[in-house]
A and B are shown apart, each in its own frame.
Chain A
Amino acid sequence: MTPGPVARPEGATHRSGATLARSNRRWFWLFVTPFLAGLLVFVYAPLLWSLCLSFFDARNTVTPNRFVGLGNYTYLLADRLFVDSMVTFIAFAVFIVPLTFACSLGLALLLQRITVLRAFFRSAFFLPTAVSYVIAAMVWRMTFFNGARFGLANTLLTSLGLEPINWLGGENSWYWLALVSLRLWLQVGFYMILFIAGLNQIDPQLYEAASLDGAGAWRRFWSITFPLLRPTSVAVSMLLLFNAFQAFDEFYNMLNTVGGYPPYARPPLVYLYLISFGGGLQDLGIGSAGTMILTLVILVFSFLQNRLLSIGADR
């Protein structure tokens, strides 16, 4: 039996194409306008004003009148602390991007294989994504990586007969362990979900055919899963990189002390925040110039992302 034409439900009214188009437009603007307005007011207007401020001597004012041209840019590019902050970002990205990528992919693959409690485990790993960076940073700082003898990590160390470590003190590089583990815990679940979505797009018949041809688990992963996940992998890599650029909350809340923010482990956003509003400084001209430099760098990476994604799409 072949299905017949679907009957129009009783009571349904005929609507002309023009009426429908008008209705769609109305709904479109109803939904889009608030967010567009928010975007204009809270993103594009400040961005444009920052661009303007970056060419002025704007200490303690948002309406400066002394034009300095590219002076703020040349100052920043010659500033050792700003260059150090870019190095800090690179060091952070070198740790966090591959580690989160590998862990997220690993978790996604594991959860694809299990048949019981799959939804529970997905939720459990995703849950930290909902936790505030500030709250998590305080827990990490005050509980796990407290440098005092009674900190959790130090209690474990001393119970093993080892010396306690001043995790966040800066005379060693242990603070990276705290910073990287915190961000890994917070974001691994989100990227795991992206990978699961990517894995679901792969035709299972490919795996069956490969198995029949004698391909082992590693061969199937390397020859089927990894290449077909390429668009997801590129997107995840870029998102991780951008997020690394925007690192602020966990750094600031874990390392800032009554004495101020230490000179080590300052990612660019923390450094620019300190210049613009921190510790009595209020140099919005240099802070804005730094923001523009960062925006430019992110735009370059976005361009590269688009190129890489298009390569992935071609294949």
Chain B
Amino acid sequence: MALTRRTLLTLSGGLAATTALAACGSNTGRTPAPSTAPGTPVASADPSAGRPELAQWYHKYGEDGVEQAVKKWAAEYPGADVSVNWVLADYEKTLSAALLTPTAPDVFEYANGPTLDMIKAGQVEDLTDTLGGARDDFTPSVLERVTYQDKVYAIPQTVDMQLLYYRKDLFDAKGLTAPKTLAELTHAANTVADGSIGGFFAGNDGGVGVLGLLLMWAAGVEEMNEARTQAAFNTSALYDALSGYKELFDSPGMVKSASADWSDASPFINGETAMQWGGMWDLPKVIEAHGDAFDVLPFPAIGGSGRQVVPFGAFSACVSSKSANVTAAKNFVKWLWIDSEDKQVEFSNAFGTHIPAKPKLFPQATKVADGPGASAAQFVTDHGRSNALHWTPASSEAYSTAVSNVIKSGADAAAEFGSAAEKVTAELQRVAG
């Protein structure tokens, strides 16, 4: 059949109309679920017909096997048909947009639990009753991060932390000891670096993004006052810490660009750097690559009032307030992240290295029983810090902009942090209102 121009245009118009109509549809990959009023016991649902259907979202974990495991667990759940959406990139942004729509996921994970704005906007359900008597099972500091005004808004899944990987063999060869202060770290980075390997790597932005808060904490400075009404970081101790890090940043031992970002240990594994700030989740890969020729450390202390520090946090399961099956979603979260301790242990042991959110499961977490894994777990106890719920994304943005401007552009620290402190104080007053 000859395709005339008119036929082609007609077909194009029809196709465009069809596409537009399809785009207006509401097919999110989840079949319609029967409405379940809050409080309705899910167990009473007929398993053969009308089982609640839930959509659960995860971000893409770098460790092999996680996707298969969470899909398997979802399939095992007897109380509902759970479909897992494994979001490959830009998880938080995609989720933020989805939460505005009626087809938001019923259950989703969020780093350190929902933000304060998500809680205040009513986007997530109160899970205090879901947690019930299991509250005491969880690590208190982890649970505190997902608690607002005595209500728990997420159930911690597993604890992750960041730490400093360093090549013990190269340090020994150069007569270096494990750095406990930033000055020692700078010296070590510049001593160990040569034409074939760099000294220190903390991301392709020079560590400004991931180390921003650590520089504050390591200098013995706090984000805000205890009453959470004012920024407290605008101090000379912070200026000195930034000055110290800038010295490292500008030194030849600093690796500012590598084959992967800080969250992937590949640069350390590939021999691009002798030290890398990274995640505990990559520990098995590093052990496989370097055996016992490496060790781990917390971030070093800075200045006279400084302290060593490691950040920790937990991806935590939330229930969307827009879910058509809130009760079923809560029941699923309870089943998976509170009751199914075998699965929680499996998550800690089978994929990378993670710390269980419940201290009573520590003995079963084989990856943190000895060696660098045990050291890492001890760092969380001795030096662990987690950013405060009141440290909003806007506060974080203002602070990290100041850090970047001081480190990369040589801007005046007092002016930059003064401006950032004003913004943070305004944010604290906003969220208190």
Contacts and interface: CB of A to CB of B under 8 A. Distances in A.
A259 B256 contact: no
Nearest to A286: B394
A37 B24 CA distance: 11
A166 B117 contact: no
Interface residues of A, number: 41
B24 A41 contact: yes
A60 B408 contact: no
A62 B401 CA distance: 28
A60 B123 contact: yes
Contacts of B97: 277
B17 A169 contact: no
B209 A260 contact: yes
B17 A34 contact: yes
B96 A277 contact: yes
Given A30-B10, A37-B20, A278-B93, A61 B100 contact: yes
A33 B263 CA distance: 49
A151 B256 CA distance: 13
B92 A280 contact: yes
B205 A30 contact: no
B203 interface: yes
A147 B393 contact: no
Contact of A280 (B115, B123, B262): B115
B400 A260 contact: yes
Nearest to B398: A81
A170 B401 CA distance: 12
Contact of B262 (A80, A147, A171, A259): A259
A148 to B, nearest CB: 5
B74 to A, nearest CB: 26
B371 interface: no
A262 interface: yes
B183 interface: no
Given A38-B16, A81-B401, A264 B408 contact: yes
Nearest to B23: A42
Nearest to B24: A41
A257 B96 contact: no
Contact of A169 (B205, B272, B394): B205
A151 B257 CA distance: 10
A257 B408 contact: no
Interface string A223-266: 00000000000000000000000000000000001111011100
Interface string A187-204: 000000000000000000
Contacts of B121: 59-61
A277 to B, nearest CB: 5
Contacts of A21: none
A283 B259 CA distance: 34
A169 B206 contact: yes
Which secondary structure characterizes the binding site on chain B?
helix
B205 A148 contact: no
B16 A279 contact: no
Contacts of B207: 259
A129 interface: no
Contacts of A61: 100, 121
Nearest to A273: B93
Contacts of B404: 170, 262-264
Nearest to B267: A148
Given A169-B205, A259-B208, A60 B118 contact: yes
B204 interface: yes
A301 interface: no
Interface string A270-308: 000010011111110000000000000000000000000
A35 interface: yes
A146 interface: yes
Contact of A148 (B17, B210, B257, B419): B257
A282 B205 contact: no
Interface centre among B20, B205, B249, B392 (most CB of A within 10 A): B205
A59 B427 CA distance: 13
B20 A41 contact: yes
Interface string B192-215: 000000000001111111100000
Nearest to A141: B204
Nearest to B18: A34
Interface in B343-379: none
B261 interface: yes
Given A38-B16, A41-B24, A277-B96, A146 B262 contact: no
Contacts of B208: 259, 262
Interface string A29-45: 01101110110011000
A80 B99 CA distance: 29
Contacts of B206: 166, 169-171
Contacts of B408: 169-171, 264
Contacts of B240: none
A262 B9 CA distance: 45
A32 to B, nearest CB: 9
Contact of A33 (B17, B92, B120): B17
A38 B22 CA distance: 12
B397 interface: yes
B13 interface: yes
B93 A35 contact: no
Nearest to A147: B257
A258 B203 contact: yes
B128 interface: no
B409 interface: yes
Given A37-B20, A41-B20, A170-B408, A279 B262 contact: no
24 contacts: A30-B13, A35-B13, A35-B16, A41-B20, A60-B96, A60-B118, A60-B120, A60-B123, A148-B259, A169-B408, A257-B261, A258-B203, A258-B209, A258-B263, A259-B207, A259-B209, A259-B262, A260-B209, A264-B409, A278-B92, A279-B397, A280-B392, A281-B394, A282-B96
Given A258-B209, A259-B210, 12 more contacts: A34-B13, A34-B16, A41-B24, A168-B204, A169-B205, A170-B409, A171-B407, A262-B404, A279-B93, A280-B92, A280-B115, A280-B392
Interface of B: 9-10, 13-14, 16-17, 20, 24, 92-93, 96-97, 99-100, 115, 117-118, 120-121, 123, 203-210, 249, 256-259, 261-263, 272, 392-394, 396-397, 400-401, 404-405, 407-409, 419
